[in-house]
Amino acid sequence: MIGKDTTLSDGEQQYLSDAIDTLENEILVGRLGSDHFEDLDNNEESRGDWAEYMRRMGEHDFLGIAIPESEDGPGGTFVETVLAEQSIGYAGTIVHACQASLTQHIGHTLYNHGNEHLREAYLEPMLDGELIVSQAYTEPSSGTDLARVDTTAEKVGDEWILDGQKRFIDFAKYGDLYFLPARTSGEDGDREGISLFVIDGDADGIQLVDDQSDWHGFRGTGAAWMTFDNVHVPEENIVGEEGSAWPYMTNELNLEHLTVARYCLGASQKALEVAADYTSNREVNERPISEYQGVNHKVAEMATKLDAAYLLNTRAARMLDEDGISAGRMEGAMAKWYGNDLAHEIADTCIQIMGGIATTDKYPIERTQRDVRAGRFLGGASEVMKSVVQHYAYKVLASDDFNSDYVGNELDEVPWSDEDPPSKLAPTDN
């Protein structure tokens, strides 16, 4: 926040500043310091770095934050979860925040629906930072439209046999586990008949068939197109009820909407701070460019919108704390599209007011602009989020009592309709 955040308690304010402090001074240091950020952007990351990052994150309670202590989780809240994700985007990179985010929402699905085996074998070590996590949802035929999942799982004896492919998968190269949906019954596009599975990273039959890590931004995750060919999965690695994963996935996404928007906003706040410093110091025509209204009004607009986006996001997270992970569908969708579109707008505007230097690697601005770009469609495209908002917003805005008799016929009931129209509107002869 640029202004005071009156919606956070003192404890939450403290949590936020402690989180940034811990990240900057204890986690993203040494081999995980600023050189490492460049390594990630150059796709020169290593499995060891990601494992070390997770170890440190687990040690400092950044993983699965809202999982209760009874489950060996940090016992935090969803508001703390989004504050932590903001802090990681701010102090680290988007991909650091993404890996942590996977433990927040996948962790919650495992906590809510996982059997004892899944909790012991995967959730607990995940919270301790012993696993690198990969969420393999997207397929060539199933991106935004998740119900078109083509990957299948068939029960044979006491195993599931998986066949299919997933693309654009972050941490495909390093995943100790893959969390993925597959069709176990029903027809293409049915929401019924989809099941979620946890698959060990070293399971036979998994291949990375195309390296996709050299994309626009969001680099350093070892992203790839994966195929699953006759992969044997123990029967107990199914999450919850067979064929009933759709609500698990949409609830998980309800939290992911907030984390993705929040970490992109954290990164854009860092870009805005750099731009404010730069424009205060850079002189053009013997004046700091911050003195030009065309520049400083842009900063004013970014600061105002950033606060609005944080407030929207915190409100939705608080609804999850109050009413559970499925709460606040409209409010979460508002926070997602507005936050992600804004994060990109801020990074891009920072480039505009800094000029050419912002397009080099002297400042982390152009990396941020590339990194936050995908947030506008991953985890929920802005267009889809607006469709969710309008669905609920119409119910709030539109009233059954509205007199629709006039719609399209408004002239019928105006006071002068049976008489002569007012003189100004009277027809003329020519």
Ligand X SMILES: Cc1cc2nc3c(=O)[nH]c(=O)nc-3n(C[C@H](O)[C@H](O)[C@H](O)COP(=O)(O)OP(=O)(O)OC[C@H]3O[C@@H](n4cnc5c(N)ncnc54)[C@H](O)[C@@H]3O)c2cc1C
- Contact residues for ligand X (CB under 6 A)? 135-138, 143-145, 168-170, 215, 218, 374, 377-378, 381, 383-384, 387
CA distance 13 to 75: 17
Best CA proximity match to 239, nearest among 160, 166, 340, 336: 160
When the beta carbons of 122 and 218 are compared against ligand X, the nearer one is 218
When the beta carbons of 292 and 377 are compared against ligand X, the nearer one is 377
When the beta carbons of 51 and 384 are compared against ligand X, the nearer one is 384
Cβ atoms of 231 and 203 within 8 Å: the answer is yes
Query: Min. distance of Cβ 187 from ligand X in angstroms?
Result: 19
When the beta carbons of 80 and 176 are compared against ligand X, the nearer one is 176
Nearest position to ligand X, beta carbon: 143
When the beta carbons of 136 and 351 are compared against ligand X, the nearer one is 136
Query: Min. distance of Cβ 8 from ligand X in angstroms?
Result: 30
> In one letter, which amino acid is 382?
S
Query: Min. distance of Cβ 149 from ligand X in angstroms?
Result: 11
3-class SS of residue 136? coil
Helix (H) / strand (E) element for 202: namely none
When the beta carbons of 2 and 381 are compared against ligand X, the nearer one is 381
Query: Min. distance of Cβ 417 from ligand X in angstroms?
Result: 41
Query: Min. distance of Cβ 374 from ligand X in angstroms?
Result: 4
Cβ neighbours for 304, distance < 8 A, ≥ 6 positions apart:
2
Cβ atoms of 147 and 217 within 8 Å: the answer is no
Query: Min. distance of Cβ 33 from ligand X in angstroms?
Result: 23
Query: Min. distance of Cβ 387 from ligand X in angstroms?
Result: 6
Helices (H), 42-157: 47-59, 78-91, 94-113, 116-118, 124-127
**Residue 262, CA atoms < 13 Å, CB-side half-sphere:** 32
When the beta carbons of 143 and 205 are compared against ligand X, the nearer one is 143
Cβ atoms of 160 and 237 within 8 Å: the answer is yes
Cβ neighbours for 321, distance < 8 A, ≥ 6 positions apart:
77, 78, 79
